[in-house]
Amino acid sequence: MTGARVAEAFVDDATGGPTRLGVYGAATGIALGLSGIVLALSGAFAIGDENADAALLIVFALVCLGLAALQARRPFEARAMRPVPTLSAGVVVYLVVAAISTITYLATGSIGRVDDALYESVTGVATSSLTLLEDPQVLSRGMLIWRSGTQWIGGLVALAMAIGLLPFLGGSRELADPRSRGERRLALADRPVPALKRVAVMYSGVTVVVIAAFFVVGMGATDAVAHALSSVSTGGFSTHADSIGHFDSRAVDLVMIVVMAGAGFSLALVWMLYRGQFRDTRRVYELRVYGAVLVFASTWVWWLVDSDEGTGDRLIESVFTVVSLSTTTGHRVADWGSWHPGAEMMLLFLLVAGGMSGSVAGGLRWIRLVGLAQFVWRELQRQLHPRAVRSVKVGTASISEESIDRWHAQLVLTMVLAGTGAVALAFFGSDIVEALTLAFSAVSTTGPAMAEDGGTLVHAASLSRSDRAALMPLVLAGRVAITPALVAVSVVFIAVRRRFSANAFRRGLRSRS
């Protein structure tokens, strides 16, 4: 199949005109609004700082909020929410926030070069933790909040797309509702707008609770807010070069473990708990699998890691690293890149597998892996009983064949994207292990990887500009679960092709006349 035909297949050819623009306009408005709120928060934190970022951040916030308000006045047609434009619009939100962030970094002088600012912004909104800054303390307080805030926005948009929009656009309902009993009713809401509202409220509420928890265990205001923003979103940006290891506090480590693990849970599950539907949560098969994996992986890593630390510290390091990577957060308390190879392989597998469905975490998601394992079992049974009719089940729920098709496609696309990315990174100078781990880590939106000279690669300053350029599309595609990124690219491709063919047609008419 030619590239053009593949691309054409992604594009909704219904004549949309203003309706389609309406979706993109709404996406831009949402991006501006969210950026405005976080910029205002950053401006508030910058007020007492010696740095002069406060005024600039507040002005930016006002401009963003003003433009968002203008956009909000434009009527939005619900019927415009068709799969292709809506998925593309989701990508537009990320791009607009990344653009605003780039301008902010440049205008405040936090980062001098456009490409560096763009990299830090894209990494931020894509909730990857592979920062460009060796020591984030060079930034002002306000900019530290903004940097973590971009991750918070990225997490919110990912959640909104995963459980607020896609289930209503023909996507896998199993990914939105962890009960996955094949019910028509979804846990969070049965219509997009209430679902989106609940996502926003719960996400914000959880963030506030986490900020309070960090205060309690002794973090300062800036640290607590910045880490809460970047942890709830599974982003992983820290305000310190040593990440969470900087605090050297067991209490901080334990709270962070709980926060990261919670971020890897499905938001719909949290909603059920909030509503007191405990019986429903017990039926969540994916939760049991995910919990078992975290326990098994922590034990495995703890057993293999040879460390000078005491048993207790080693256990906390192991659990922290397992939870951090399995939720694709990327916070760190130890140099896991120099651990035992068996522990490293386990961690790499976890970061590719990711968190639960309907969570902020990236990666493939456990429900997909469990579903695919059940599918493999079904195919094995079919070898023995070719005429038997069996459905694929996760727990007690039957999974549709369409969902299995989509999950397998996701697996293949992840492999293809990471493989291509690894070749590109290796071409630009990384060695094989660094290129492969960096590519998979980027696609799962984790960030850190295994460095060429041993140890963990924790910041992108040691990478070349070409490497960073190759990483940006990988993290963005990974953040939107690849498919919307392909849809968006094809929309642009088809639009350009139509424009060229229309021009050629006009030229042909002129030459005839």
The nearer residue to other proteins, 360 or 392, going by C-beta atoms, is: 392
Answer whether 362's CB lies under 8 Å from 326's CB. no
Answer whether 132's CB lies under 8 Å from 461's CB. yes
Nearest distance from C-beta of residue 334 to other proteins, angstroms: 17
φ, ψ at 334 (rounded to 5°):
-150, 165
The nearer residue to other proteins, 179 or 368, going by C-beta atoms, is: 368
Least Cα distance to 396 among 183, 180, 167, 178 occurs for: 180
Q: Round to whole Å and give the CA distance between 97 and 160.
A: 15
Of 9, 193, 461, 504, the residue at the interface with other proteins (CB under 8 A) is 9
Q: List the x/- string, 462-501, binding to other proteins by CB under 8 A.
A: ---------------------x--xx--------------
Q: List the x/- string, 333-362, binding to other proteins by CB under 8 A.
A: -------xxx-xxx-xx-------------
Helix (H) and strand (E) counts for the chain?
Answer: 20, 4
Q: Round to whole Å and give the CA distance between 455 and 436.
A: 15
Which tokens in the block code for residue 455? 């140890």
Nearest distance from C-beta of residue 384 to other proteins, angstroms: 5
Q: List the x/- string, 246-285, binding to other proteins by CB under 8 A.
A: ----------------------------------------
Nearest distance from C-beta of residue 16 to other proteins, angstroms: 13
Binding residues among 150-169 for other proteins as defined by CB under 8 A = none
Q: List the x/- string, 430-469, binding to other proteins by CB under 8 A.
A: xxxx-xxx------------x-------------------
φ, ψ at 306 (rounded to 5°):
-105, 110
Answer whether 130's CB lies under 8 Å from 448's CB. yes
At 394, which helix (H) or strand (E)?
A: strand 392-394
The nearer residue to other proteins, 389 or 509, going by C-beta atoms, is: 389
The nearer residue to other proteins, 131 or 490, going by C-beta atoms, is: 490
Which tokens in the block code for residue 25? 């306009």
SS3 at position 308: coil
Of 58, 195, 422, 471, the residue at the interface with other proteins (CB under 8 A) is 422
Which tokens in the block code for residue 240? 């310190």
Of 15, 18, 75, 384, the residue at the interface with other proteins (CB under 8 A) is 384
Q: At what angle do helices 465-479 and 83-108 cross, to 10 degrees?
A: 140
Instruction: Kindly state whether residue 88 participates in binding other proteins, applying the rule CB under 8 A.
Output: no
The nearer residue to other proteins, 57 or 435, going by C-beta atoms, is: 435
Q: Round to whole Å and give the CA distance between 192 and 448.
A: 35
Q: Round to whole Å and give the CA distance between 144 and 223.
A: 9
Instruction: Kindly state whether residue 103 participates in binding other proteins, applying the rule CB under 8 A.
Output: no
DSSP 160: I
Question: Could you list the residues that contact other proteins (CB under 8 A)?
Answer: 1, 6, 9-13, 83-84, 87, 170, 300, 304, 340-342, 344-346, 348-349, 372-373, 375-376, 378-380, 382-386, 402, 405-406, 408-409, 411-413, 415-416, 419, 422-424, 426-427, 430-433, 435-437, 450, 483, 486-487
